[in-house]
Amino acid sequence: WGDQERFQARHEWRLGDTVIWDNRCCWHSATGENPLRQPRRFYRATIADRPHKSA
């Protein structure tokens, strides 16, 4: 179901943009495109979370 367009959010990057998502409940992927041809930085932050228990 996650590949259905109604469940997707797409972002068209502009210089200075920041995007934040919750990895615990989000299925994310990238297109591999970098239309601005700018270096990109990726950071990970874990905030007030408890360890996840596998089902």
- What pLDDT was estimated at residue 53? 67
pTM summary value: 0.48
The whole-number pLDDT of residue 55 equals 55
State the DSSP string of the chain.
-TTSGGG-------TT------GGG---------TT-----------S--PPPP-
Residue-averaged pLDDT of the chain = 76
Dist CA 42 CA 30 (whole Å): 13
pLDDT (0 to 100) of residue 25? 78
